[in-house]
Structure 1
Amino acid sequence: MRKIRLGVVGCGIAARELHLPALKNLSHLFEITAVTSRTKSHAEEFAKMVGNPVVFDRYEELLDSGLVDAVDLTLPVELNLSFIEKALQKGVHVICEKPISTDVETGKKVVELSKKSEKTVYIAENFRHVPAFWKAKELVESGSIGDPVFMSWQIWVGMDENNKYVHTDWRKNPKHIGGFLSDGGVHHVAAMRLIFGEIAWVSAIAKDISPLLGGMDFLSSIFEFESGVVGNYTVSYSLRGDDRFEIVGTKGRMEIFWDRIVLNGEEIEVPHQDSYQREFEDFYRVIMGEKRNDLGDPLEALKDLAFIEACVRSQGNRVSVSSLL
Structure 2
Amino acid sequence: MKKIRLAIVGCGIAARDLHYPALKALNDKFEIVAVTSRTKKHAEEFAKLVGNPEVFDTYEELLEADYIDAVDLTLPIHLNVPFAIKAVEKGKHVICEKPISTDVESAKQLLNVSKETNKVIYIAENWRHIKKFRLIKNLLKNFKEVLYFNWRIFVGMKKDNKYAKTDWRKKPQHIGGFLSDAGVHHVAAMRLIFGDIDWVTAYTKDFSDYLSGPDFISTIVEFKNGVIGNYVASYSFNEEEQFEIYGKENTLKVLKNKIFYNEKEIDFEENMGYKEEFEDFYEVILNNKENDLGNCEEAIKDLAFFEAALKSNGNKIKVDALIN
Following superposition, the deviation at residue 160 of structure 1 comes to 1.0
Maintained 8 Å contact 1:133/1:195? yes
Shift of 1:259: 5.3
Q: 1:269 aligns with which of 254, 267, 270?
A: 267
The answer for the alignment partner of 1:295 in structure 2 is: 293
Q: How high is the sequence identity, in percent, across the aligned residues?
A: 57
Listed one character per residue, the Cα deviations across residues 92-126 of structure 1 (whole Å, up to 9, x for unaligned) are 00000000000000011111111110000000000
Task: Give the Cα separation in 1 of the matches to 2:241 and 2:127.
Answer: 16
More deviation, 175-184/270-279: 270-279
1:258 CA displacement: 7.9
Q: For 2:295 and 2:236, locate their aligned partners in 1 and report how far apart those are by CA, in whole Å.
A: 31
Conserved? CA contact 2:153–2:241, under 8 Å: yes
CA distance in 2, matches of 1:258, 1:86: 43
Distance in 2 (alpha carbons) for counterparts of 1:236 and 1:273: 23
Report the equivalent of 1:54: 54
Count residues with an aligned counterpart: 323
Correspondences of 1:129-208 after superposition (within 5 Å): 129-141=129-141, 143=142, 145-208=143-206
In structure 2, the partner of 1:104 is 104
Distance 1:108 1:150, change over 3 A: same
Q: 1:204, CA displacement in angstroms?
A: 0.1
The residue that corresponds to 1:237 in the other structure is: 235
| 1:69–1:93 contact (8 Å) kept in structure 2 | yes
Matches of 1:215 and 1:124 in 2, distance apart?
24
- Name the residue aligned to 2:212: 214
Whole-angstrom CA distance in 2 between matches of 1:160 and 1:273: 25
Structure 2's unaligned 5+ residue stretches are none
Name the structure 2 match of 1:246.
244
- Contact kept, 8 Å, 1:259 with 1:271, in 2: the verdict is no
In the alignment, is the contact (CA less than 8 A) between 1:154 and 1:245 conserved in 2? yes
The 8 Å contact of residues 132 and 260 in structure 1, kept in 2 or not, is answered as no
Q: Is 2:57 the counterpart of 1:64?
A: no
Tell me how far 1:257 sits from its aligned partner: 5.5
Q: 2:321 aligns with which of 308, 320, 323?
A: 323
Query: C-alpha deviations, 1:67-96, integer Å up to 9, x for none?
Result: 310000000000011000100100100000
CA contact (8 A) 2:93 2:121 kept: yes
Q: Deviations over 1:233-289 (max 9, x none)?
A: 000001111210111111111013685421011011111234100000000000013
Partner letter of residue 59 of structure 2? Y
* TM-score computed with the length of structure 1 as normaliser: 0.98
Q: Among residues 307, 310, 316, which one is paired with 1:309 in the alignment? A: 307
Residues 156-192 of structure 1: per-residue CA shift (max 9 Å, x gap): 0011112110110110000000000000110000000
Matches of 2:25 and 2:299 in 1, distance apart?
Answer: 26
- Gaps of at least 5 residues in structure 1 are none
Letter of the structure 2 residue corresponding to residue 21 of structure 1 = P
Rounded Cα–Cα distance in structure 2 between residues aligned with 1:316 and 1:238: 21
Residue type matched to 1:12 in 2?
Answer: G
In structure 2, C-alpha distance between the alignment counterparts of 1:139 and 1:79, rounded to whole Å: 39
1:202-232 deviations in Å (ceiling 9; x for gaps): 1000111112011111000001001000010
DSSP 3-state at the match of 1:215: coil
Residue matched to 1:286: 284
Secondary structure of 1:2's partner?
coil
Deviations 1:130-161 (A, max 9, x none): 000000001112x2x32100111100001111
Inter-CA distance 29–138: structure 2 relative to 1 (3 Å threshold) = same
State the distance in 2 between where 1:323 and 1:16 align. Answer: 38
Q: Is the 8 A contact 2:8 2:72 kept in 1?
A: yes
User: After the TM superposition, which of the residue ranges 125-134 and 238-247 deviates more from structure 2?
Assistant: 238-247
Partner-residue secondary structure (3-state), 1:243: strand
Question: Which secondary structure does the structure 2 equivalent of 1:165 belong to?
Answer: coil
